[in-house]
Structure 1
């Protein structure tokens, strides 16, 4: 049994991440062991929430991650924590499946975040609509951007039978953002002070919170994946340009017997000599294109690995770094490694978003896409992903020798056999 809530809102932009981070840090300061999860495909919010809570943050998604692994992760966290916070994605009922679907699946009540900056008593109508539309079990409310104590009282009275757990005033300083979302925590010099300030500004009713009943989360033991990568060493790029990868991907690679060796292309490190395969995850190569273009040792080593037929998986930012050129947001064009024919250019608008699945001989490998760049190439795609739930054509999947490249981010645990095949010769 553990106290658990799913932090949700009517839409994006209401302050879910800010409130979840502030609440996590607040509860930690009150001596609670806190575990945070993030609904849906996301790399950046979990980094901030991990910093706020001091514990690893994993993804929950009934389609991409699957019900069984979601329940296993929640059950494990329940044995380690006093409180589980699950940050929803977009609005409470958005998506197929939605955050509301996940809350109902595991019996987790919803904590609604409302932006009260331009409303007062209407807050009650909004929250009751969120509760009754599904319906969902509404645990309580945290009101964001509250102007005064009087404003908070008006909001609280409008909620009727739903408790107001807390309020956060209008913030003089918010969490910094860029085109893919929040700025990475490691890039904000005083991020811990900012999180402490948010926690300090969060007016929180501990008595109301303490009345929240605990949730029982049970799961069947997880079966061990087959040791398909036993004896294999996978070199994984990890630095400020390549950091968008699911921790669960690393877990499943290790569980299948792989040894993981990390290296930094930005630091001009070469592909490790002991590597049997290379994994280039997504990230922000567009912010570091000049530095990558001058990393001659890295470039020479990845070209040599490719020439030798070493399996290379490049996802999104990893693929961008292996094109011939990359045009950054200013329009400057930089030479990249050139394993994949074509040019990548940043776009002013979102170029791809959503859950997708890649058909493979081992079955569908699930994941997602989210990017602001486009690849112009004469290379014909070897396959396409399928968008979920529309089932229409999604991202192109390219093969160039031993290189597999796409804007698609795979969630390896959704199909371990298909994931292992990406790192094996002749598969």
Structure 2
């Protein structure tokens, strides 16, 4: 039996740390290659919701997560293989620094034989960019294809960086941006909040000086196309209502696809628009997002609040993740210290804070096996409720986020990645 393969030009875009401009550079490169007539697919390493939204706008295609632990080696390979069969170029944006985390971006690059492009912020240095590049290449080592120097001040500055690269290729440079992609406490702002975003992305693409000859010399990466088994239709005939707007925007595209493959029909509604839960809904999914930015509007959205209280009283299965859980408490105190009444289905209050409260990969042990995911939040839940269970931190195996249960409502700061255990995910939405 001859195995089917696919191939494409693939690079993993990483850096020495967060804040070097990986997302901006990846977005600029994706948009530039598309302008040059290439078909492009972008992936994001590790758990993330916001960067993929921005990269989706830059590339025009859904951005999935790759992760050797949360997503898994086989599933990551399957997505890369499928993408390689459909496009010319695959860009994978790394997470944090190249070697940070377990598993790291470097681990992912080595697992699939993918070359690395390092984005290095040159704004406060010149020749030292070459030393950093050599260190990134040799520490692992990884197959470092080259460097894109970010925040270059002038042609002279660019020449000093280029002269210092020695045997490492300088693939390109990006000038200091007058219009950078804006950020807030959880990362970039959402794409729909950025005025003239496509014009900014086009400008970044035009400002990216790319060595086309060096790019063309990159080899193709080949992937085996695995057979993907069909999922059991555990949610066949079930309609799941999903809150989706600027307050509830943190949803893995793979989660939605997993629910559909399990047989569910998905309907979407907006609490911010004061829309009630659709009448045909069997279950409700309240994902994470930025409810703290819209607490005033959510506290006054009487129609959606009434429909949620009615649904809960009637025993509707409800899954609330992070921001979704925050609105179900008695009150939410925002970062300006203002307190807003919420739905009161969970005893206690949520308080925003300036420092990070939790971050990292975690897993929930269920009767159907381990359901993997992550946590990332800047608030704390002050409550006397006793948790039904706790997640397990991947790095240390210590207790992670509390899982709360009230009737058929399950709530936590934990963001689950449904394809890591579709059976466990299905049971979250069953009575």
When normalised by structure 2's length, the TM-score is 0.97
Cα distance in 2, alignment partners of residues 83 and 102 from structure 1: 17
Q: Point out 4+ residue stretches in structure 1 off by more than 2 angstroms.
A: none
Post-superposition Cα deviations, 1:88-123, rounded to whole Å, max 9, x if no partner, equal 000000000000000001111000111111111111
1:331 offset after TM fit, Å?
Answer: 1.3
Cα distance in 1, alignment partners of residues 206 and 173 from structure 2: 11
1:309 offset after TM fit, Å?
Answer: 0.8
1:173 offset after TM fit, Å?
Answer: 2.2
Post-superposition Cα deviations, 1:68-104, rounded to whole Å, max 9, x if no partner, equal 1101111111111111000000000000000000000
1:176 offset after TM fit, Å?
Answer: 0.5
Question: Are residue 119 (structure 1) and residue 125 (structure 2) matched?
Answer: yes
Partner of 1:244: 250
Cα distance in 2, alignment partners of residues 222 and 320 from structure 1: 36
Deviates more, 1:226-235 or 1:115-124: 115-124
Q: Conserved in 2, the CA contact under 8 Å of 1:22 and 1:52?
A: yes
Partner of 2:3: none
Q: Conserved in 2, the CA contact under 8 Å of 1:116 and 1:143?
A: yes
Q: Conserved in 2, the CA contact under 8 Å of 1:367 and 1:410?
A: yes
Question: Are residue 383 (structure 1) and residue 398 (structure 2) matched?
Answer: no
Aligned residues between the structures: 425
Question: Are residue 317 (structure 1) and residue 292 (structure 2) matched?
Answer: no
Partner of 1:199: 205
Cα distance in 1, alignment partners of residues 227 and 96 from structure 2: 31
Q: Conserved in 2, the CA contact under 8 Å of 1:11 and 1:92?
A: yes
Partner of 1:326: 332
SS for the counterpart of 1:70 is helix
Post-superposition Cα deviations, 1:336-372, rounded to whole Å, max 9, x if no partner, equal 1111111111111111111100111111110000111
SS for the counterpart of 1:275 is coil
1:217 offset after TM fit, Å?
Answer: 1.6
> 1:33 is matched with which residue: 28, 39, 52?
39
Partner of 1:294: 300
Partner of 1:268: 274
Cα distance in 1, alignment partners of residues 209 and 30 from structure 2: 13
How do 1:101-180 residues align onto structure 2 when only pairs under 5 Å count?
101-180=107-186
Cα distance in 2, alignment partners of residues 170 and 9 from structure 1: 17
Question: Are residue 184 (structure 1) and residue 190 (structure 2) matched?
Answer: yes
Partner of 1:42: 48
Cα distance in 2, alignment partners of residues 147 and 265 from structure 1: 45
Deviates more, 1:216-225 or 1:249-258: 216-225
1:158 offset after TM fit, Å?
Answer: 1.6
1:150 offset after TM fit, Å?
Answer: 2.1
Question: Are residue 279 (structure 1) and residue 288 (structure 2) matched?
Answer: no
How do 1:9-28 residues align onto structure 2 when only pairs under 5 Å count?
9-28=15-34
How do 1:39-118 residues align onto structure 2 when only pairs under 5 Å count?
39-118=45-124
Post-superposition Cα deviations, 1:197-223, rounded to whole Å, max 9, x if no partner, equal 111111111111111111112231111
When normalised by structure 1's length, the TM-score is 0.98
SS for the counterpart of 1:46 is helix
Q: Conserved in 2, the CA contact under 8 Å of 1:167 and 1:204?
A: yes
1:65 offset after TM fit, Å?
Answer: 0.4
Which sections of structure 1, spanning at least 5 residues, go unmatched?
Answer: none
Question: Are residue 353 (structure 1) and residue 359 (structure 2) matched?
Answer: yes
Cα distance in 1, alignment partners of residues 354 and 167 from structure 2: 45
Partner of 1:225: 231
Partner of 1:235: 241
Q: Conserved in 2, the CA contact under 8 Å of 1:37 and 1:87?
A: yes
Report the aligned-residue RMSD.
Answer: 0.8
1:27 offset after TM fit, Å?
Answer: 0.6
Cα distance in 2, alignment partners of residues 209 and 153 from structure 1: 19
Deviates more, 1:377-386 or 1:166-175: 166-175
1:5 offset after TM fit, Å?
Answer: 0.2
Partner of 2:4: none
Q: Conserved in 2, the CA contact under 8 Å of 1:277 and 1:311?
A: yes
1:382 offset after TM fit, Å?
Answer: 0.5
Q: Conserved in 2, the CA contact under 8 Å of 1:387 and 1:394?
A: yes
